[in-house]
Structure 1
Amino acid sequence: MRKGDEKRREMLTVAERLFCLRGYEATSVQDILDVLGASKGGFYHHFASKEALLVTLCEQRAQQALEATEQALLQHAKPMERLNCVLHGFLPLRLTEVPFLNMLLPLMSKPQNKALLLQYEESITASFLPVMEREISFAEKSEVIFPHIRNSASMVAAILHTCWKEIAREMLDWMEGIADMDVSALLEHLTRMRKAIEVLLDAPYGSVEVITLPEWGDVAAELIRLRMADE
């Protein structure tokens, strides 16, 4: 690895750690440089801004999620198991993603951060769409699902994005005291997502399982713990 590439990777590693510990908005470029012992000139040689660095982190997280999903797929042979594995990897509401998701949550309440969140969505979609198309095609050829429209993978991706953002916003309202905690409302979002995907793909009822209830409970508990620790 070239020295410049190594320095860039160090900046990404330190920035992600600080963003997750302190929050994106509470972390300045200077904070990152102080940890690295680097100059601003060195930073701006690699990234145009703090926002550009976060965009790169989003792309990196999406690629890491895809690689983990491809590894998990090695353990599955049945079409619906494989498709569910891809859907699970696509959804940011995973236990391994909680620290990064916790950093993103506060950004959702401010309109000026809409472009950053959109970039996160686009990074996930760009990474996962080819493998999602592949697994949907495999399930269709195996006569497990019977989608009637083209580009069903893109529509599934849109459903997943809508679901996780709705859940994240509700959780953010809880954490900020805007609304009372209502776990049943979150379960309704997950149920609607499952049913919407099953209808879109003409999949057997109950065959889509993006995230198990025990895992979702662990995700919610860890998010709440991290948010309370920040206060």
Structure 2
Amino acid sequence: MEMARTVDQAAHATRRRQILDVAQRLVETRGYEQMSVQDVLDELGMSKGALYHYFGSKQALLAGIVDRTADQIEEHLAEVVETPGSDALGKLNQIFQALAGWKAGHRDRLVALLRVWNSDGNALTRHRTRAGIAERLAPLFERVVEQGVRDGVFTLPTAVGFGQVLVSLVQDLNERLGDLFFACEEGRADPSAVDRTVAAYTAALERILGVAPGAVHIVDPSALHAWFDPPRQEREG
């Protein structure tokens, strides 16, 4: 009987992953508002009753995509945090580099999710997403801050709570850049605002940690502008 339950759990996890794969692709290609539960059912050849064993609504599907995305980001960054040999400042910059690389590799998904978060009536989704990501990433950042405080690299009285502070700053920056992304897409953004925004948040982070100006690299300029050039090129084309 124990073996049977294990097999069922594995089958359930596999089917759940298949459902999320389809829903995620539809969100990326059609947009969340245009995607329907029936679209997912048609692609999978499932009944609505069968789907509801896994996800009870369209909103639950979106939550599943967001949760899986947050889990993937956490797993990706944990590899950097657990790598021995780097000092805390180097490790922090490696985290930012890894995060930027992951985002670049999943651009379509993240743009689709940004559209959901910025559409009317999705304030609760934005709040839950932000809280869920912070819950996963704050402990990773705090471990790096602990190392920096211990080694005298960061001039903070304690590391406790500063993982959440760093994640909040990064999330605020991401939201601001998201606003600029859509403004750029609509042709109403000043491109220099992107660099100024990153510079301001970088300076704030350096001041909090007590490191020299220029020591923190939140995002490489070329990686940053790769996000903003396509919308401008598409608009001009």
Q: TM-score range by the shorter chain?
A: 0.7 to 0.9
1:26 alignment partner in structure 2: 34
| SS across alignment from 1:208 | coil
| SS across alignment from 1:80 | helix
Structure having the higher Rg: 2
Q: TM-score, normalised by structure 1?
A: 0.88
C-alpha change, 1:77 and 1:93, in structure 2 (3 Å) is closer
C-alpha change, 1:165 and 1:36, in structure 2 (3 Å) is same
Over the aligned positions, Cα root-mean-square deviation in angstroms equals 2.5
Using the alignment, how far apart are the partners of 2:46 and 2:236 within structure 1? 32
Using the alignment, how far apart are the partners of 1:36 and 1:228 within structure 2? 38
User: Which amino acid letter does the alignment assign opposite residue 214 of structure 1?
Assistant: S
Using the alignment, how far apart are the partners of 1:47 and 1:16 within structure 2? 14
Indicate whether 1:79 and 2:97 are aligned: no
Using the alignment, how far apart are the partners of 1:189 and 1:143 within structure 2? 29
1:8-23 residue pairs with structure 2 within 5 A? 8-23=16-31
| Identity between Structure 1 and Structure 2 (%) | 24
C-alpha change, 1:59 and 1:227, in structure 2 (3 Å) is farther
Q: TM-score, normalised by structure 2?
A: 0.86
Q: Does structure 2 retain, via aligned residues, the 8 Å contact 1:145–1:204?
A: no
2:182 alignment partner in structure 1: 172
Structure 1 alignment gaps of length 5 or more:
none
Using the alignment, how far apart are the partners of 1:94 and 1:46 within structure 2? 27
Q: How many residues align?
A: 227
Q: Kindly state the Cα deviation for residue 148 of structure 1 after the two structures are TM-superposed.
A: 3.7
Q: Does structure 2 retain, via aligned residues, the 8 Å contact 1:93–1:219?
A: no
Q: Deviations over 1:100-119 (max 9, x none)?
A: 22102322443411111222
Pick the aligned partner of 2:162 from 147, 152, 171. Answer: 152
Higher relative contact order (CA 8 A, sep 6+): 1
Q: Deviations over 1:199-218 (max 9, x none)?
A: 11212221111111111122
Indicate whether 1:220 and 2:228 are aligned: yes
User: Which amino acid letter does the alignment assign opposite residue 126 of structure 1?
Assistant: E
User: Which amino acid letter does the alignment assign opposite residue 159 of structure 1?
Assistant: L
